Structure 1
Amino acid sequence: MTKCHLVYLACTAAIVGTGLGAAPAAAGHPHHATHVVRQGQSIQKAVDAAAPGDTVYVAAGTYRESVTVTTDGVTLRGAGPRTVLRPAPVKKKATGTCAADGNGICVIGSKDRRIKHVTVAGLTVTGFTKNGVYATTTDKLTVRHVTAEKNGVWGIATEASRRTELRGNIARGNGDAGLFLANTVKEEQGATETGGTLVQGNRLEGNRIGVTVRRLRDLTVARNQMTGNCAAVFVVGDENKPKAGHVTVRDNRIVANNKSCPKTARLDALQGSGIVLTGAEDSVVTRNEIRDNAGTSPLSGGIVLFKSFVGTTSERNRISDNKLSGNSPADLVVTDTAGKGNTFERNTCKASRPAGLC
């Protein structure tokens, strides 16, 4: 292991676990270890050597590599924003799935086994052609205090995962969503239960979409700050069963998301969209501050209920106690006129389409 330049520090479980969210040590591994990686050394080698409950601590510096985590209970922690992961030079690019797919950090489970209790914290991932952090088939994944910027598609993305916590991250300048959460990316299927996934306290700036929640249920988006995106929050459903919904969007600050994004194969042009619900049911949008989001897209407005692009309506959603101002074409916009049971209560706003919702 000397060749790998890894330093192993014998630490008690109490010391390593403090503030890191580390899982309990496996049988026969009474003490959790901290594997220290310094600039010029391999993060992946340290991750491969880590046992459940161990921490891989990455010192400040720039690391030209992608990293894959497949062991339960591992914490990958940097020294803060100055710990930076960038793509490897092409001639040195690894052939592993994470690097080959253009991702920075991958947390990978399988259909037969979810990867559990992994934490990624305190570092920057930037410049990857696809995603900064990508996780699939996880349980109780935590991503916190990560800066994901200028990645080609998503800043931080999860699919087929349960009980995820995305907290205190910064996602800016990513090609699509800063934070993307979905049931599955490549297949058509009904919405799945997340078991209480939480997206809280993140700062989302200059992305195409701040947060996308696609075909999921039982999820909360709370206390995030979003500005300068083409759209701030998208809750997306479709014709599959069960329907997307039971999503709570609360206490967010959504201001001037007026970047202009062109039409794609899946979505109309975007500009000036605060919170959009499309094809969703039984969701709650409450206590948000939504102002100065303006555009001429069919999806523009403060809070927008929009029939999904396959014609699925939004039903029984409750829009209440939000403070809206300066949004155009209106603070509240309902183009999904066939949707049933949607309610608007105690919102502070001046204009709605149709009239009478304020």
Structure 2
Amino acid sequence: MTKRQIALVACAVAAATTGLGAAPPSAPEAASASASASRTVHRVKPGESIQKAVDAARPGDSVVLAPGTYRESVTITTSNLTLRGSSASPTVIVPGKAASGTCAVAGHGVCVTGTAQRPVEGVTVRSLTLRNFARNGLWASRTDRLTVRSVTAEKNGNWGIAQERSVRSVLSHNTARDNGDAGLFVSNTTDTEEGAVDTRGTEISHNHLSGNRIGLTVRRLRNVTVDHNEATGNCAAVFVVGDESTPRAGAMRLRHNHVHANNKYCPKTPRLPFLQGSGIVLTGAEETLVAGNRVEDNKGTSPLSGGIVLFKSFVGALNERNEIRDNVVLRNGTADLAHRDTGTGNTFRGNTCGVSEPAGMC
């Protein structure tokens, strides 16, 4: 190599080195680095206060609980916060004798609450057990993009995991068992009479629901997907509930769920007859798809008993334009498929079943 060639190579190396050193990070890279640097993990051990760590957290932070039992209720009002337990060993939250705050007074375990003007956004609750609360294990109101994952809610007095006035939620891979009412409960509102709310795509998937009065209740909502859940040992597995209000409940998808042997007995209430042997029940719903589900061995003699049942709501609202197709519905009593109202436009096709009301739908 000549002296001139050596000089040219040296200049090129110097220019490349200078350029690499001087190039500023792109705006997204800088923002990501800044966000990562500002996120804090708040670690809590049994005997320490979860609420104190939550109150100290900022958006983007995580509150991580060591395995063990915590005796308190927790309120989350900060957006983009994660509360999680250990995935290796149980992290259990139960009522505390000296617990204070609105969440504890109301009888809930974990509360995620926003306001009409400022919903709580992007909160994640995961890998916890919520047990023995007088009302609900987890209660959420006015949230956007709430994720509840790998949570066990058991032996709570009312609902295991419940929410209202919320959109774009993901409830997945949870276990809800032995709760006084529904294992999972999603609703437009719980304290006023209003039309159905468009959830903008709430997803309820891969949950295990057992031993509850009702496995899952979806009440006065639109645009919800319920798929790949298992419900067994409840009095009723899945209730989709609407009424005469407008917008009407509906535009939902119930697909690929396994609903079997929901034969626990629950006495009547002021709103419902006794429950036993109900698989998937639609009351007062419209434009809902029920497809690809296995609904088996749900047996009872309640007016709501059966595999897949269409029943007019108790305020007289009819089911209309629902599609029931490609389900396996077998050994259910009093019928595998039952159309027990006078709503129009409901279709049953491609289902594998033995007995239907009226006859001829199998």
- The TM-score with structure 2 as length reference comes to 0.90
1:73 aligned residue: 80
Q: Is residue 342 from structure 1 mapped to residue 349 from structure 2 by the alignment? A: no
Deviations 1:208-230 (A, max 9, x none): 00110000000000000110000
Letter in 2 for 1:104: G
2:13 aligned residue: none
C-alpha deviation, 1:30, in angstroms = 3.9
Percent of aligned pairs with the same amino acid: 59
Q: Is residue 43 from structure 1 mapped to residue 50 from structure 2 by the alignment? A: yes
1:303 aligned residue: 308
C-alpha deviation, 1:148, in angstroms = 0.2
Of 228, 231, 236, the match for 1:226: 231
Of 82, 89, 110, the match for 2:90: 82
Letter in 1 for 2:117: D
2:168 aligned residue: 163
Of 134, 140, 143, the match for 2:139: 134
Whole-Å separation in 2 of the counterparts to 1:27 and 1:73? 16
Letter in 2 for 1:356: G
SS of 2:166's partner is coil
How many residues were matched structurally? 331
Which stretch of the first structure deviates more once superposed, 24-33 or 281-290? Answer: 24-33
Q: Is residue 93 from structure 1 mapped to residue 99 from structure 2 by the alignment? A: yes
CA contact (8 A) 1:25 1:31 kept: no
Q: Is residue 352 from structure 1 mapped to residue 356 from structure 2 by the alignment? A: yes
Letter in 1 for 2:165: A
Distance 1:26 1:41, change over 3 A: farther
Q: Tell me which stretches of 4 or more aligned residues in structure 1 moved more than 3 Å.
A: 24-30
Whole-Å separation in 2 of the counterparts to 1:297 and 1:64? 40
1:7 aligned residue: none
Whole-Å separation in 1 of the counterparts to 2:35 and 2:301? 62
Structure with greater Cα Rg: 2
1:279 aligned residue: 284
Name the structure with the higher strand share.
1
Distance 1:144 1:356, change over 3 A: same
Q: Is residue 106 from structure 1 mapped to residue 114 from structure 2 by the alignment? A: no
Whole-Å separation in 1 of the counterparts to 2:349 and 2:325? 5
1:174 aligned residue: 179
Letter in 2 for 1:130: R
Whole-Å separation in 1 of the counterparts to 2:35 and 2:223? 37
Which runs of no fewer than 5 residues in structure 1 stay unpaired? Answer: 1-23
C-alpha deviation, 1:27, in angstroms = 7.9
Q: Is residue 294 from structure 1 mapped to residue 302 from structure 2 by the alignment? A: no
Name the structure with the higher helix share.
2
Whole-Å separation in 1 of the counterparts to 2:196 and 2:226? 17
Letter in 1 for 2:92: V
C-alpha deviation, 1:267, in angstroms = 1.3
Q: Is residue 56 from structure 1 mapped to residue 63 from structure 2 by the alignment? A: yes
Whole-Å separation in 1 of the counterparts to 2:309 and 2:135? 29
SS of 1:62's partner is strand
C-alpha deviation, 1:265, in angstroms = 1.2
CA contact (8 A) 2:71 2:99 kept: no
SS of 1:48's partner is helix
CA RMSD, Structure 1 to Structure 2 (Å): 1.3
Letter in 1 for 2:191: K
Deviations 1:91-134 (A, max 9, x none): x131x110000000000001111100000000100000000000
C-alpha deviation, 1:31, in angstroms = 2.4
2:197 aligned residue: 192
Whole-Å separation in 2 of the counterparts to 1:232 and 1:41? 38
Whole-Å separation in 2 of the counterparts to 1:320 and 1:84? 41
- The TM-score with structure 1 as length reference comes to 0.91
Which stretch of the first structure deviates more once superposed, 25-34 or 36-45? Answer: 25-34
